[in-house]
C-alpha cells in the first residue's frame, strides 16, 4: 500500500537531517523532540516523514519506506 509522501518530500527531509548532523541510522533513531525543534524550517509533514523514517530504520524496511510500498504481512499496519 502506498504512503502519502513523495520521494521528493522524503529527499528534502533527508537533506535537512544530513545537513544538521543526523547522518547515520543510529543518530536518526535517537532523534528527540528537542532535536526536531532545532532543525531549520521544519514543517509538520517533514516531522511525520522523520517519524516514519525512524520506524522504517528500526524495522529494517528502508526500501519500502522510500518506495512508499509496504509488503503485506510485514508489521502490524499495512501503511507506513
Residues 6+ apart with CB under 8 A from 27: 21
Per residue in 15-68, pLDDT (tens digit) is: 999 999 999 999 999 999 999 988 888 999 999 999 999 999 998 988 888 877
Residues 6+ apart with CB under 8 A from 55: 61, 65, 80
For 20-25, the CB contacts below 8 A with 24+ separation are: 25/57
Give this prediction's pTM. 0.78
Amino acid at each position: 500500500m502506498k504512503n502519502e509522501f513523495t520521494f521528493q518530500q522524503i529527499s528534502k527531509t533527508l537533506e535537512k537531517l544530513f545537513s544538521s548532523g543526523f547522518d547515520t541510522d543510529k543518530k536518526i533513531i535517537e532523534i528527540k523532540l528537542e532535536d526536531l525543534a532545532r532543525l531549520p524550517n521544519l514543517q509538520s509533514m517533514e516531522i511525520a516523514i522523520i517519524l516514519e523514517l525512524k520506524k522504517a530504520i528500526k524495522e529494517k524496511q528502508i526500501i519500502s519506506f522510500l518506495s512508499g510500498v509496504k509488503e503485506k504481512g510485514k508489521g502490524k499496519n499495512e501503511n507506513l
